[in-house]
Amino acid sequence: MTIVLAISGILLIGAAIITAYRLLDGPTTLDRLVAMDTILAVSMCGLAVWSVYSLDTTIVPAIVALSLVSFVGSVSVARFRVRDE
């Protein structure tokens, strides 16, 4: 079980690094928005992996709150964004 959690953590770190590159280098605002949503999803998955590893279920409300904030933020930015030139 610990090996699976370690591999999951390594893959999540790799995904976060690749997504951070897209966030910093994205040519359009929509690329950056998708990258930010992906980073939030990766962080939620990281919290879930940590919750499984530590057998602590008090993190689950934080994951739910983070998902709600992520959804509302991405919908707000997508709704009110200005077109790229």
Q: Give 74 or 50, the one with higher predicted confidence.
A: 50
Helical residues (DSSP H) of 26-81, grouped into ranges: 29-54, 60-80
Question: What domain range is 41 assigned to?
Answer: 2-80
pTM above 0.85, yes or no: no
In a domain, 23, yes or no: yes
Measured distance CA(47)–CA(73) in Å, rounded: 20
pLDDT for residue 79? 80
In a domain, 85, yes or no: no
Is residue 56 exposed (0-12), middle (13-18) or buried (19+ Cβ within 10 Å)?
A: exposed
Domains in the chain, number: 1
* pLDDT tens digits for range 16-66: 999 999 999 878 888 888 899 999 999 999 999 999 999 989 999 999 999
For the cut 70, the answer to whether the pLDDT of residue 85 exceeds it is: no
* Vertex 49: Cα angle to 40 and 56 (nearest 5): 110
In a domain, 8, yes or no: yes
